[in-house]
Amino acid sequence: MIGTALITGASSGIGKEFAKIHAQKGGNLVLVARRENNLLELQEQLIKEFKIQVEILSIDLSAEGAAKKVYAFTQEKNIFISYLFNNAGFGGHGKFIDRDLAIDNQMIHLNVIALVELTHLYLQDMRKHKEGWILNTASTAGFLPGPLQATYFATKAFVISFTKALRQELKGSGIHISALCPGPVKTEFEKVAGMDGSDMFAKGASANSTALKGYNGLMNRKLIIFDQVSYNFLIKCLLPFVPNSLLSKIVEKIQTI
């Protein structure tokens, strides 16, 4: 039987779709997010439809010590996490100098620190069991400079680099790690990031198709998973030949609302 998956940011968007996909395969779930009502609704739906076990934990992962509380929650319930989906994250639009530093620090804590802490904690158990699957939700933004979203783009660059390094360290351990790098996706991200009405998101991929490609890519042990073939081509074949100054101007223009 497929093992239990812990999914952060599970109350909506890509995280919610990860939960549905894993449930369809018969896997139990631990769903983590801030909005308890959304988690309760999803829990009821998945238990009723797929007859699986679903635990929920409402917590703000950007808060100090939150990752340890998540780990303690699964330890107390004696749940071995075979699949870790580090999906929670948010962005923010505007010039860095004009943004609230506290919000950007919160972004770094959620997008980077919580991800690192959860990975370190659950890797200990995965190493003991000699098995495990980890999918870190990064972004195509991690390959680019990000004027008007400088901190967000930088956090995703960290996630990609971190995943690549761990991939090498975990060779032969039975633990597999991948990074999902989608382009714009139709989720709540654009609203939270202050980019409502952007054409970039209006033409984005669906959360379901993105989650499915991420899930299948992890199962196929791909290191970097793009949700669209065009991004794979652009980043691998064209990006190396574009000067950084021009690239920054292009990204800035795309993100100007």
* Residue whose pair of structure tokens reads 């107390």 in the numeric block: 76
Catalytic residue among 71, 83, 122, 152: 152
Asked if 231 is an active-site residue, the reply is no
- SS3 assignment, position 256: coil
Residue 137's closest CA among 181, 185, 106, 187?
A: 181
The span from the CA of 87 to the CA of 94, in Å, is: 23
Query: Which tokens go with 184?
Result: 């714009």
Alpha carbon of residue 118 to chain centroid: 12
Q: What is the largest CA-CA distance in the chain?
A: 54
Instruction: Indicate which residues carry an active-site annotation.
Output: 152
